């Protein structure tokens, strides 16, 4: 299986506790920059802040499978549970019933000082 890259359109790597956060991305094959077809795949991930690791949090949606596009949304209630002024890591991967999971990206982020 080829290495994958992630092209992102997202509001930055700052998550404000108590606000909805949406990440939109396109999964591409690293060597050719062509879209990875997401048919049959489920986008999954986890958020880790300090020693707290939350698996498969949020809502994932494949937008256009053939174009490799997806969104991932963390609700206001989910981000409200994150401590302000913290650093964390987001790990995204693709899950498929008949193949191994594929790592898409690891993204560092921080939470803001403001809470809502």
Asked if 46 contacts 89 with a C-beta cutoff of 8 angstroms, the reply is no
Q: Angle at the Cα of 55 (from 92 to 75), degrees rounded to 5?
A: 85
Quickly count helices (H) and strands (E) in the chain.
1, 9
Q: Report the C-alpha gap between 110 and 45 in whole angstroms.
A: 17
How much is the pLDDT for 5? Answer: 64
Percent over 70 (pLDDT), the chain: 87
Asked if residue 115 has pLDDT above 70, the reply is: no
- Please state the rounded mean pLDDT for residues 67-88: 91
Asked if residue 9 has pLDDT above 60, the reply is: no
Q: Report the C-alpha gap between 40 and 84 in whole angstroms.
A: 37
């Amino acid at each position: 299986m080829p290495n994958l890259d992630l092209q992102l359109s997202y509001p930055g790597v700052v998550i404000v506790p108590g606000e909805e956060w949406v990440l939109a991305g396109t999964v591409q094959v690293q060597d050719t920059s062509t879209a990875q077809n997401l048919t049959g795949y489920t986008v999954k991930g986890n958020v880790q802040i300090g020693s707290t690791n939350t698996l498969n949090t949020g809502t994932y949606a494949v937008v256009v499978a053939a174009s490799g596009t997806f969104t991932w949304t963390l609700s206001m209630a989910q981000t409200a549970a994150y401590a302000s002024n913290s650093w964390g890591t987001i790990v995204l991967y693709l899950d498929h019933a008949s193949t191994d999971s594929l790592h898409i990206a690891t993204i560092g982020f921080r939470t803001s000082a403001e809470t809502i």
